[in-house]
Structure 1
């Protein structure tokens, strides 16, 4: 029995109405908890509003302060330096681990799990462990350096020269296993016949990697770079638990600086401006990534 066109139309409208009612709670939540905060924080970034009062329109003053103040420039420089070290470090270490553990030797599965374990462990727990290791007076690392004859080992967490590098080191150590898994997944897509053909033609391991494996890993590599760039601007827990952003803001990056201004100094206008600067930075990095991917991707 065939339904008349009018009946089909009524039935379709009823289905659409039911579907709309089903997604309405999610839409309300999206508007209240995503869209509204984005719009509200944008307008707040042009004011001097804080939780104790204020709210006067200051225009672009908050944005100018980020780039004109000494502290603001330091935070931006710290964020850039963090990314410059973190992204290449995580890329090469993750790729090296994946290549080493892709051969399928006995115990490889256990080694993969071992390297991935820090990523799924509580960040605060592993950071406190590293805080003890890097402790100036009682830390394992400085005690080892003293045993090897270095009488004045660095204050890894208390010296502005070393604090940011220490935070980056712990971040790379924690995240390496995650990027190793991404590269291992990418290596499974490499056509083994191409690898075997290259070896038959006389290519050594380096030549196979350079001319076969690496080009075929281009999509995975660009994805890893994108994720690493975004994560490098969002590091918070490690900074909070390891150094608290100190000493003298030497290890503070943009994401942690937003937290300081919003929830310690309660300067919501300035914090909102910082958040939008961070969004612009991440968006710019993403755009550059896609442009380079279009030029250099082999597949």
Structure 2
């Protein structure tokens, strides 16, 4: 009978260090700020002075002297939903961003992965070219596309012969066009990201499944949708979670395009959070409220999708 090896004190110490340090870093860098944002969302604070644990109504307002932070209750949330002018446009634009990613960028990335997985000639070159935008920072992508969309000498207007002063198209300054122009930029990067994820999923599919489907007379289309795609359920979950997160945390492209200033047509929740926390107003309490709302919005679809996915997995097993 094989004896079970007991862990020594040294082993326990090594495991504790290897697990404890990442957990402490995650708690300090992620969960700590998240919980602090939740607490600050119930306050009225400009970042000057401390936060006093008393109602803002009980503090005297002295002209010329900044009022210290105080408890504001749920009034920040009421203002966000009722009087803040950029909130509902930002929610609508984030939903549009998500729909474009789900309906366009993700299927395009899947198509790239399927074509490259078939081993076409030069597939490694195509894979590198399509993955190149993922390796670039979003700030650099914003600068590149800002040159492409330039009204006077940009590539798009040059191809459309719209470089004259009387027929220029301001792709990034026109509120009816700038969101869609940025979605092209974001989809260009997102498609390459999704392609890599699906390529990993396709490599993990058992080749015997495809061979069995082909022997049964299934076409390539039927083989993919009836056999290969269901076998990639774990990758599908990862792709959907990544898509939701990427669409809700969109910030860099908008910030580079607008130069840090709010532009009509480019209202997003992440941009509103930044403008209120580090902008001229520095309403840290209200900015934290918007951050909490963004967190809740992102958690709801991810939680529901994961619950349904794991529930189906348990039902099958």
Q: What TM bracket, shorter-length normalisation?
A: 0.7 to 0.9
RMSD (Å), alpha carbons: 3.0
The counterpart of 2:214, out of the listed 199, 203, 206, is 199
User: Unpaired runs of 5+ in structure 2?
Assistant: 1-5, 49-65
1:56 counterpart SS class: strand
Structure 1 residue 215 and structure 2 residue 215: aligned?
no
Q: How does 1:226-241 map to 2 (within 5 A)?
A: 226-241=241-256
Contact 1:90 1:228 in 2 (8 A): no
Contact 1:50 1:266 in 2 (8 A): yes
The counterpart of 2:294, out of the listed 275, 278, 286, is 278
User: Following the alignment from structure 1 to structure 2, what is the Cα–Cα distance between the partners of residues 263 and 292?
Assistant: 38
Q: How does 1:36-185 map to 2 (within 5 A)?
A: 36-52=32-48, 53=66, 54-69=68-83, 70-146=85-161, 152=167, 154-185=169-200
Q: CA deviation at 1:111?
A: 1.1
- Number of equivalent positions: 289
User: Following the alignment from structure 1 to structure 2, what is the Cα–Cα distance between the partners of residues 189 and 183?
Assistant: 10
Q: Give TM-score scaled by structure 1 length.
A: 0.85
1:106 counterpart SS class: coil
Residue 19 and residue 141 in structure 1: after superposition, are their counterparts in 2 closer, same or farther (change >3 A)? closer
Residue 191 and residue 63 in structure 1: after superposition, are their counterparts in 2 closer, same or farther (change >3 A)? same
User: Following the alignment from structure 1 to structure 2, what is the Cα–Cα distance between the partners of residues 106 and 22?
Assistant: 45
Q: CA deviation at 1:231?
A: 1.1
C-alpha deviations, 1:6-58, integer Å up to 9, x for none?
A: xx99x75x876787688777676555544443333222111110124431221
User: Following the alignment from structure 2 to structure 1, what is the Cα–Cα distance between the partners of residues 124 and 168?
Assistant: 38
Q: CA deviation at 1:284?
A: 0.4
Residue 85 and residue 244 in structure 1: after superposition, are their counterparts in 2 closer, same or farther (change >3 A)? farther
Q: CA deviation at 1:247?
A: 6.4
User: Following the alignment from structure 1 to structure 2, what is the Cα–Cα distance between the partners of residues 61 and 189?
Assistant: 51
Contact 2:86 2:272 in 1 (8 A): no
Q: CA deviation at 1:89?
A: 1.9
Contact 1:160 1:247 in 2 (8 A): no
- Pick the structure with more helix per residue: 1
User: Unpaired runs of 5+ in structure 1?
Assistant: 1-7
Contact 1:240 1:256 in 2 (8 A): yes
Q: What does residue 53 of structure 2 align with?
A: none
